[in-house]
Every structure is written in C-alpha cells, then in structure tokens.
Amino acid sequence: MSINLRTVYAFAREMYPKTSKETIQYGTAGFRGKAEFLDSVMFRMGVLATLRSRYRGGSVIGVMITASHNPEPDNGVKLVDPKGEMLEASWEAIATDLVNVSDQELEQQVAKIIKDNNIDVTTSSQVFVGMDNRYHSPRLLKAVADGVIALKGNVKEYGIVTTPMLHYFVVAANTKEAYGKPTEEGYYEKLIKAFELLRNGRLENGNYRNSIIYDGANGVGARKMLQFIKRMKGSLNVTVINQGIGVGKINEDCGADYVKVQQRPPKSMPEVEPFTRCVSVDGDADRVVYFFSDDKGEFHLLDGDRIATLVAGYLMELVTQSEINLRLGLVQTAYANGASTDYIVDKLKFPVSCVPTGVKHLHHKALEYDIGVYFEANGHGTIVFSDNAKATIAQAAETKESAKTLLLLIDLINETVGDAISDMLLVETILNHKGWDVQDWISSYNDLPNRQLKVKVQDRNVIETTNAERECVKPEGLQTEINKVVANYKRGRSFVRPSGTEDVVRVYAEAATKEDTDDLAYEVGLLVQKLAGGVGPELTKPNSAHL
C-alpha cells in the first residue's frame, strides 16, 4: 500500500481548512471547544489515530466525538488507546502540534510524526469512531473518518454510543473478544448477564427497593438506558427522565455535572416519595452521581466520593472473606471531600493517593494496585484489577462464594474507563447485597459542606499549580493570599486550578458550615479575579440558603 501525504493536505484545504488562529490546547480529556471551530481538529485527529494505530502494530484506536458535560454548542474529541486508556501522555504533545500547524504545514508535520516515531505507513490500521447525540456530531464524525481515509486506514463507525461503550469496543476488539464482543449488543449482554447473576433472583432485600429515577442529561446515556431497560427483564425498574428525545438540551439544567455543582436535583425532577433513589449521568455517560430528598424536602448528594467509599468498603469485605492477599488502593483528586478521605484512611484503612484532575491520571495510578479503585468527586471513575488479582480471585472462586461474587463484579465493571451505567449497576448491586437504602448509605460519614465556583479570566493559563493541584504557584502571591483567607475558617480548605475542558478557572472550597463554605469560595473567587486577570461580570456570592 502506498500512501501519498499530499492527500492529507488536499483534504484539509478543500474540506477541512483550519479556520481558528488561536492556539488549541489539549485539555483534561482531549480537545474541546465551540463545535464550529472543530472540523479541522477532527480531520487531523482521524489522521493521528491512524498513525497511532500503525505505531501500535495495527491495534484499534478509538475516537469519541463528544463534549461530555459541556453545553450543547460545544463539542470535542477523546482518543482511546489500545487497552482502553486515554491517549498516552507523550502523544498529547504530538496531537497538539498537529492541530495547530497551518494547512500548508500539515503534510510536512505528518511526515515528521511518521519519521520521529518510525511508523511503517504501509501496514494496516483500524480506527473505531463513536459520537454523542449533539446535532453537530455527525458532521464531525465524517471529518474524523475522512482523516482516516486520507491515510488509507480502516474506519469503523459505531454511530451514537456512550464514551465508555467506545472504550469497551476498542478493548474487546484488541483482546480478540476476550473482554467481550465489540458490538453494542455484546456490551449490553456482558453487563446485564453479570448484573442479573449478581441479583440471583433477589430483587429486594432489607431496606433496598428495586427502583430508581434515572436522569439521562438529555444525552446519549438516556437512549442507552432505554435499551438496557428493554433487555433487563425487570431486574431493575428504571424511570428515565431527561431523555433528550424531541425536547431538552444536553446537560441543560440536568445531568451529573449540574446536580453535583449546583447541589440540587435536575429542574425537571418529578414529584417523588422522600428518600427515592435518583441517579444522574452526564452527556456522554461516563460519570454518575446519586441524590435524594428527605422527608423535609432537603436535598442530599451521593457523589463520586460516596461511590468510591461504598465500593472500596465492599471490595475489602469480599477480599477478606475470600482469604486472599491482594493490594487494594484508592485514588482521588483534590476535589475529594475531606470527610471521605478521613473515612477511607481511618475507618476502611485503605491506602489513598491524590493525583491531578483527569481520568488519565487516576487510571494510571490505580494500575499500581492489585485492585485499584478510582473516582473523582464528580462521579467519574471505575475499578481496575491486575492480572494477578484476576488469577487469585478465579482460584479462590473454586471454593469461596465471596470470590465468586468478586469474579462476577469484574464482569459488571467496565474496567476500561469510568462508565456511568456500569457504575450505577455496581452501586445497585452493592446496595442490594447489603440491604441498604440511601439513608443507610449516607450515614457512613458526614460530608463537609463544599462549593465550586467558575471564574472567568483573560487567560486561564496564568494559573499554574503543583502538589496534585492543591497549591497554586502562579501568579505569584495568589497562594499566600488564599492561605490567609483559609486560615479564618474552621476545617477550611480551598484550591484553584484552570479547567481543562472549559475556559474558566475553577475554585473549590470546603469548611465546617455551609455559610462558611460559601463565604470562603467567594473570597477565594475574588482573589482569583483580582490577581489572575478576572474578566466579565462581578462574582456573585453563592448562597446555600436555597438548599
């Protein structure tokens, strides 16, 4: 097969010219921004994925078109490596250079990637592409596919799928189906089979009731949950709200990010009985949070930290009962509620590590354990099992029920990346086994009140952080001022960091009371505005009184 790099340039010039002059940054989870500027980025990512596939000996590489939790006008691209991880860090720089060169320089840049990485362009390559249900996604998917075709690669289009489904397809194909069949049906089959075996016909148990309200964020997670329901034969009664079919914009006033950050139910929440278990996923269904209202109408959130502690505690119980010796560990980020970390360290005696925001960092760290549990507070996470863990558990399962349960859990968990639906089925399984309702779950510890704010600045890159984003090193003096403010609050903690998915600086604060937390977040937000070049309207003080 001969490749003519001129074709790449011809495609770019004729169909996907670069229209934006601004430097495009590789963010927390790939490139993200306003959809109208992304055609050239997508075309070039099709080219990159093909090169990457050849570089990895023809393994399948995934390209997911989604802006996940962002508003509807945004779109983005997430690249999936052969084992289901996000694109290897060293290739982020290659991707960044490729999207930023001019159309005229493109051919030369592609040649440079080939040469620098010693890629044999005559070999075969395979790229899987999926997209969320934003109206501009099909156009961008075509751009990715054309990028693959320009280099004579093979492309397989999966249409509208969740991000974790695409990760699953990539791994399933690369493991020659050892992980499952690389089809949508194969994905449902694998998860539902494990879920139903784990239920073992016992749909209700103790305080656990077999029904939930599911907020699909008007995204792809709603559609796919409807497919699950069709196939689940009543093993879980799910009512889907914010289905995004006909009405409702993706993530608008609903979904996991809205519920977590606003600390309130989706706006369209129907009247339900107090303590009804509700769950929200985000636009591409890779994050999940739970919530409920009590008999006084007060809202309660069970976020990624709660899921992490529930899962970690349960896995620990099963490992102990199975009498096997495995190294368990939990990975969090700076956003983890201080109370959750205390609970994990003091009560569960689990080793905890803290890494920068982004699944790519958490996943990587979790691989250091036999069983690595990782969750961001925003509900993004999963569990990874080492080969040693899998073999040890399989052996123990010959004699121990607890190890058999562990084996089924491995099938239920989408190890490739955080998967809202798989995580939800895991939580439902644990609650069912324990006979717990939301009150039992939430009573394990008390969260510290916390608050997140977004601050608009001229250039978010003026903020630089260290120590897993818990300290700000630039602009000079900002951290000293934050420390002074934090010192005035009991159990106060706050940090600031530039978002890698939106053009904002994020402020996180926690303290002993809700009022203190709001005040602390506001004070730190003002410091960011003052010392990091704030723009836009004056920051309004958050108010927990509505909660």
Known binding residues for substrate: 376-378, 497-501, 506
Does residue 376 belong to the site contacting ligand G16 (CB under 6 A)? yes
We find the least distance from the C-beta atom of residue 14 to ligand G16, in angstroms, to be 32
Q: Which residue type, as a one-letter code, is found at position 256? A: A
Number of residues that bind ligand G16 (CB under 6 A): 18
Q: In whole angstroms, how close is the CB of 316 to ligand G16 at the nearest point?
A: 25
Integer-rounded Cα Rg, in Å, for the chain is 23
Q: Is residue 209 within the footprint of ligand G16 (CB under 6 A)?
A: no
Answer for which of 317, 500, 513, 544 binds ligand G16 (CB under 6 A) is 500
User: Measured from the CB atom, is 175 or 262 closer to ligand G16?
Assistant: 262
Distance (Å, whole) CA 332 – CA 350? 12
Hey, what amino acid is at 384? V
Of 110 and 413, nearer to ligand G16 (C-beta) is: 413
The region that residue 164 occupies, defined by phi over 0 for left and psi between -120 and 50 for alpha, beta otherwise, is: alpha
- Separation CA 200–CA 523 (nearest Å): 52
29 binds ligand G16 (CB under 6 A): yes
Binding mask 313-352 toward ligand G16 (x if CB under 6 A, else -) reads ----------------------------------------
Backbone φ and ψ for 283, nearest 5 degrees, come out as -55, -30
Specify the 3-state DSSP secondary structure of 473: strand
Closest CA to 452 of 383, 376, 393: 376
CB of 53 to ligand G16, least distance (A): 22
Q: Which of 40, 53, 68, 494 is catalytic?
A: 68
The amino acid at 155: V
CB of 224 to ligand G16, least distance (A): 16
What gap in Å lies between CA 215 and CA 239, rounded to an integer? 8
Judged by CB under 6 A, which stretch of 134-142, 189-197, 304-312, 498-506 contacts ligand G16?
A: 498-506
Q: Determine if 380 is a binding residue for ligand G16 (CB under 6 A).
A: yes
Choice between 133 and 357, CB closer to ligand G16: 357
CA separation for the pair 17, 15 (Å, rounded):
6
User: In this structure, what DSSP letter does residue 542 have?
Assistant: P
Structural contact between residues 117 and 55, judged by C-beta atoms closer than 8 angstroms: yes
The pattern of x and - marking residues 65 through 94 that bind ligand G16 according to CB under 6 A reads ---xx-------------------------
Of 317 and 503, the one with the shorter C-beta distance to ligand G16 is 503
- Among this protein's residues, is 68 annotated catalytic? yes
Closest CA to 62 of 153, 142, 195, 155: 155
- 3-class SS at 227? helix
Least spacing, CB of residue 376 vs ligand G16, in Å: 5
Closest CA to 76 of 32, 43, 135, 39: 32
Neighbours of 410 (CB within 10 A): 17
Q: Supply 75's token pair.
A: 């779109």
Q: What is the DSSP letter of 247?
A: S
Pair 265, 200: CB distance under 8 Å: no
Q: Among residues 501, 510, 520, 527, which is the contact residue for ligand G16, using CB under 6 A?
A: 501
Is residue 460 involved in binding ligand G16 (CB under 6 A)? no
Is residue 162 near ligand G16 by the rule CB under 6 A? Answer: no
CB atoms within 10 A of CB 2: 6
Rounded distance, CA 46 to CA 62, Å? 10
User: Interacting stretch for ligand G16, rule CB under 6 A, among 11-19, 41-49, 112-120, 495-503?
Assistant: 495-503
Segment 228 to 287, residues that bind ligand G16, using CB under 6 A: 282, 286-287
Of 134-142, 430-438, 496-504, 520-528, which part binds ligand G16 (CB under 6 A)? 496-504
Using CB under 6 A, which of 59, 175, 353, 499 touches ligand G16?
499
260: closest CA among 331, 337, 330? Answer: 337
CA-nearest of 6, 85, 83, 80 to 45 is 80
Q: Tell me: does residue 358 bind ligand G16 (CB under 6 A).
A: yes
Q: Which stretch binds ligand G16 (CB under 6 A): 215-223, 465-473, 497-505, 534-542?
A: 497-505
Distances (CA, A) of 65 to 31, 85, 105, 208, 292: 10, 16, 25, 37, 32
Neighbours of 75 (CB within 10 A): 28
**Contact with ligand G16 (CB under 6 A): which of 235, 276, 357, 517?**
357
Question: Are 190 and 411 in contact, with CB atoms under 8 Å apart?
Answer: yes
The structure tokens listed for 206 are 């103790």
Cβ-based nearer residue to ligand G16, 274 or 536: 536
Residue 327 CB, nearest approach to ligand G16 (Å)? 24
Q: Which of residues 387-446 bind ligand G16 (CB under 6 A)?
A: none
CA distance 481 to 200: 56
Phi/psi at 429 (5° precision)? -65, -45
| Residue 423 Cβ vs ligand G16, minimum distance, rounded to whole Å | 13
The least CB distance from residue 463 to ligand G16, in Å, is 12
Span near ligand G16 by CB under 6 A; candidates 218-226, 407-415, 494-502, 518-526: 494-502
| Identity of the residue, 338 or 500, whose beta carbon is nearer to ligand G16 in the bound complex | 500
Burial state string for 61-73 with b = 16 or more CB within 10 A and e = fewer than 16: bbbbbbbbbbebe
Nearer to ligand G16, 107 or 469 (CB): 469
Specify the residue, 167 or 506, whose C-beta has the smaller distance to ligand G16. 506
Of the candidate residues 12, 24, 26, 28, the single one contacting ligand G16 (CB under 6 A): 28
Nearer to ligand G16, 150 or 354 (CB): 354
Q: Which residues are part of a known binding site? A: 68, 282, 284, 286, 376-378, 497-501, 506
Which residues of this protein are in contact with ligand G16, per CB under 6 A?
A: 28-29, 68-69, 282, 286-287, 357-359, 376, 378, 380, 499-502, 506
Enumerate the active-site residues.
68
